[in-house]
Amino acid sequence: MNPKDYLAYTLGYQLLGKSYLSWQRHSDERAIKALRPAADDPLNPPLVGTARMKELMSRHYLEGRYANGVRKVAWVTSGAPIEVLRALDFFLIYPENHAALCGARRHAEGLCVEAENAGYSRDICSYARTDIGSALSGRTPMGKLPRPDLLLCCTNICQTVLYWYRVLAAHFNVPLYVVDAPFLYDKASDHQLDYVLEQIEGLIPVAEKVAGKRVSRERLQEIMEQGKSCAELWLTIMDRAQHRPSPITAFDGFINMGPIVDLRGEPETFAFYTELLGEIDRRIDNGVGAIRNERKRVLWDNLPVWYKIGKLSRHLGAKGVNVVVSTYTYAWGELAPMMDAADPMRSSARVYLHPILNRSTGDKLRSMREMVAKFQLDGAILHSDRSCKPYSLGQIDQRDNLANDLEVPAVLLEADHSDPRVYSDEQADARLDAFIETMEAA
């Protein structure tokens, strides 16, 4: 540990930063509580807990600014087996989450252009372009990202990450560990599990070497237990959308999912979601819905359109449409039952083999059909995400199946999760409005 870095970390993050963010959170909470929406506002006031989420995420990125020289830093994919790294006290950066924040704060386009100017094709995922553009230019709305000491990439979400992380490895000149997850066309076989398990076990000596210390089995078990508790809590929150009117929207899920992605298993994350669940349950007790006049309940498939979350929630809310659940936010909770602290390594292998993006398109359709029944849905919006090919693959058939077999009106919305140049308000509104009209006619 570098004493100068440690001093800056203690002063900038531990003492001043945390206190400021805590004050900021109190101020945000007061502001949300004081909100009195206009009579024609289609949405009820946002969840007060959102202020805590903002504090947690800001704190995380603030710590990142001071992390180099104090904590070992790993950049990891969203589906990476991070338990080993957490057990070794790595500070984790999720470039996908960073890119999503850039998208939501409307910084993604400029960073994508940086990457495009360096020769990266506009057909590459906008998360990858955003992060590569950020790495090349050093620009980020988060102030500064810590330089990685290790890169961990798991191919259970897409193949783009493999090439993206190779670019990062070359750029930062740091080791890259790849966990290859075979695609599941059906149930995971023992040899597939063994294959992933061997790779996760292989990560231990690599991570230990970078961290300069050994991992203990007890700590790994503890980390798995904490991760499971958070994922279970997140799933419980998502399931509260079964209530009518639903106390939450999928947009609330998108906004509040940062901690379950970046800070999964942290005690503060568990405390935050416990508090959020309490607030949601109070809404249920009082019969308060997330939107004021919930007439239709729909599903969202795929990643959000980060730069249009507010606009879409208002546009749909004004027509009485509540997007109550999404396959994407659900993905961060649905694997909780597979997590087993008694056998952290093998259960890790099972969990990281099974993200929605590593399962067949038929499997996703089954999940969607179950959601239609479970959440009493009237329709489905399938975001055909130009950037996320694996998630969008099969959506035409999935849409047709929902519309024809289940007679659930469903619409494909062509957009991109982070690159606003792919989105056209007029075209999107026309499709969504026509979709709503077909739901009303059904």
Among 19, 28, 52, CA closest to 259: 52
Q: How far is the CB of 40 from another protein (least distance, A)?
A: 16
Distance in angstroms (rounded) separating the CA atoms of residues 145 and 185? 37
Q: How far is the CB of 441 from another protein (least distance, A)?
A: 4
Residue 3 CB coordination number (10 Å): 9
Among 377, 356, 369, CA closest to 249: 377
Closer to another protein by CB, 5 or 414: give it. 414
Closer to another protein by CB, 338 or 422: give it. 422
Residue 238 CB coordination number (10 Å): 25
Q: Is 35 exposed, middle or buried (0-12, 13-18, 19+ CB in 10 A)?
A: exposed
Closer to another protein by CB, 25 or 383: give it. 383
Contact 154, 199 (CB under 8 A): no
- Residues ≥6 apart with Cβ < 8 Å to 46: 32, 35, 252
Residue 6 CB coordination number (10 Å): 14
Q: How far is the CB of 414 from another protein (least distance, A)?
A: 4
Q: How far is the CB of 405 from another protein (least distance, A)?
A: 11
Closer to another protein by CB, 194 or 425: give it. 425
Among 315, 293, 295, CA closest to 305: 315
Closer to another protein by CB, 226 or 384: give it. 384
Closer to another protein by CB, 101 or 408: give it. 408
Report CA Rg, the chain. 21
Q: How far is the CB of 386 from another protein (least distance, A)?
A: 8
Among 143, 176, 153, 168, CA closest to 63: 143
Q: How far is the CB of 418 from another protein (least distance, A)?
A: 17
Q: Please name the residue ranges forming H helices in 212-266.
A: 217-239, 250-256, 258-262
Residues of this chain that bind another protein (CB under 8 A): 396, 400, 403-404, 409, 411-412, 414, 422, 424, 426-427, 430-431, 433-434, 437-438, 441-442
Q: How far is the CB of 395 from another protein (least distance, A)?
A: 11
Closer to another protein by CB, 285 or 426: give it. 426
Handedness of CA 309, 314, 319, 320 (dihedral sign): positive
